[in-house]
Structure 1
Amino acid sequence: MATTRRRTAVVLAGLATAALLGTGTANASIIAPDALRIASYENSLKNSTEPEAAATLKQFDALAHDKKVKFLDYTEDPENLKALLQEAADVPEAGTTVHSLVNLKGGDVQIEADSDATFKPDDTDAAAVAARGKLSRGWWDTTYSVKQKIFGVTVTKLSLWVNYYTDGSKITKVDHADCGKRNYNAAVSIGHGVPKAQLASGTAIGEVIWEGSIIYRGFGIEIDKRHQVKADAYGFKSGYLKNI
């Protein structure tokens, strides 16, 4: 697997270079390198099939020229590239929601961790459920996400959720876990293994292994992370994104 991923990293590095050189090739000699980089990034977002690409493009376009250049510098900075996959994103035992923030590069780069829970309740007495603090009876999805922002623009986001059933008192069944990603950084390639779910001591647990390749000047840096989310009868319990 490692050999295949290294080859993939090299291929993607070549594609990224080709993309930069392929934008306005005929006029490359008269267009400033920074303008080429900006145009290439904007084109990649315009041609992306990701549902949030248009919003990311709008946010990027709103940045001043100097910040756009710095933004792209940050996406190619190996220390910054490693940050999302190396920065500790552990959340201890918590309530039904959590929000944490790590500032890097003087606050220009941020790593945020968030959780939420959505459900289809069976319980008709929602007021009574809210009063006792536990989740309504029904099927729930509890999500734990970690994302990297540069100048407020979300560049990469990793999400993991677990689907479970609570009877209004305790979790009785876990159906599945699943994951999703948004990645608008050409220097980062992210794949994942099969998400797994289990019920242990009244806690619904979802877990997945992210397989990250960071492409920098033609070299691939591989970093694998274990992503976990836990939920109990009150909602989100804890989560983490750790090196393996």
Structure 2
Amino acid sequence: MLKHIASRGTATVFAGLAVAALLGTGTASASIISQDGARIATYEASLTDSKESGAADTLKQFQSLSHDDQIKFLNYAEDPDNLKALLGQAADVPAAGTPMHSITSLGGGDVQISADSDATFTPDTSTGDDAVAAGKLHRGWWDTTYTVKQKILGVTVTKLSLWVNYYTNGSSITKVDHADCGKRNFNAAVAIGHGTPKAWLGSGNANGEVVWEGSIVYKGFGVEIDKRHHVTADAWGFKNGYLKNV
């Protein structure tokens, strides 16, 4: 779902990117800090004040860029085409097995949208039988995750992850416990929320799903995009996943 909306109130965060600061010089004139400098300072302050995990690393990566690349970074971050590429275009992945990795490049490679899967394992020690069918997951509880993230000039700006927790007996998936999701978003032009994750067992597969509710604020105007994030695992591990419009 893609529709234009009035700002959801996040425009106040975005407006600070265009503010120029004035410094008094004695009783005479005032000098104007460049708009570029103000944009950089505002973005760095937003990361410094952020309570979100990973903000310090993103700040360090951003500060390691040259001044020109920092401005390029902010221009890309505010570019509606790049924002829509993350939240507005489908990132479908066909059945690929575990693990998988794909990258879509924009801006001559400066902007990358990647899709990855991984899995973590908790063994079942309740019995001594550890038989596993050829190529299938070991018996126990697994979390299979499907992640989509956007990097600008090597700096991870937005990351959306969804995982499903399930049990396999070494031959087939017999139980699905829950699904959950997590995000990192260090783009002042994007506000992201989500609905309640759900999980289910269907046709021998563990499925997890959540709907992300994204608002792009660009020069005082808003675009609302809802995205369905899905992950499927089978007895061999990751099966497929997608992030696409509702």
Fold agreement, TM-score > 0.5: yes
Q: 1:107-156 CA deviation, whole Å, 9 max, x = no partner?
A: 01000000000011126787x74x82211111111000000000010000
Shift of residue 227, structure 1, vs aligned partner:
0.5
Q: 1:160-199 CA deviation, whole Å, 9 max, x = no partner?
A: 0000011111100000111111000000011111111000
What residue identity is the alignment partner of 2:181? C
- Residue 17 in 1 paired to residue 15 in 2? yes
Determine the C-alpha separation between the residues in 2 that align with 1:116 and 1:178: 14
Aligned counterpart, 1:87: 89
Change in Cα spacing, 1:214 to 1:138, as seen in structure 2 (3 Å) is same
Over the residues paired in the alignment, what is the CA RMSD in angstroms? 2.3
Determine the C-alpha separation between the residues in 2 that align with 1:143 and 1:159: 7
Aligned counterpart, 2:37: 35
Aligned counterpart, 1:188: 190
Change in Cα spacing, 1:6 to 1:26, as seen in structure 2 (3 Å) is farther
SS of residue paired to 1:116: strand
Change in Cα spacing, 1:25 to 1:235, as seen in structure 2 (3 Å) is farther
What residue identity is the alignment partner of 1:92? P
What residue identity is the alignment partner of 1:164? Y
Aligned length: 238
Shift of residue 29, structure 1, vs aligned partner:
4.7
Shift of residue 92, structure 1, vs aligned partner:
0.7
Change in Cα spacing, 1:148 to 1:161, as seen in structure 2 (3 Å) is same
Aligned counterpart, 2:152: 150
Aligned counterpart, 1:77: 79
* Stretch of structure 1 that moved more, 187-196 or 83-92: 83-92
Change in Cα spacing, 1:176 to 1:18, as seen in structure 2 (3 Å) is same
Aligned counterpart, 2:49: 47
Determine the C-alpha separation between the residues in 2 that align with 1:189 and 1:51: 16
Contact 1:10 1:219 in 2 (8 A): no
Structure 2 residue runs without a partner (length 5+): 25-29
- Residue 229 in 1 paired to residue 231 in 2? yes
Larger Rg: 2
Q: TM-score, normalised by structure 1?
A: 0.91
- Residue 103 in 1 paired to residue 95 in 2? no
SS of residue paired to 2:86: helix
What residue identity is the alignment partner of 1:73? N
Determine the C-alpha separation between the residues in 2 that align with 1:35 and 1:93: 46
Aligned counterpart, 1:208: 210
Determine the C-alpha separation between the residues in 1 that align with 2:157 and 2:22: 27
What residue identity is the alignment partner of 1:50? E
Q: Could you tell me the percent identity over the aligned residues?
A: 67
1:119 to 118, 121, 125: 121
Q: 1:54-108 CA deviation, whole Å, 9 max, x = no partner?
A: 1111111111110000000011111111110123311111111100000001101
Shift of residue 20, structure 1, vs aligned partner:
5.5
Determine the C-alpha separation between the residues in 1 that align with 2:81 and 2:177: 38
Q: Higher relative CO (CA 8 A, sep ≥ 6), structure 1 or 2?
A: 2
What residue identity is the alignment partner of 1:205? N
Change in Cα spacing, 1:72 to 1:18, as seen in structure 2 (3 Å) is closer
Structure 1 residue runs without a partner (length 5+): none
Aligned counterpart, 1:57: 59
Contact 1:10 1:218 in 2 (8 A): no
Higher helix share: 1
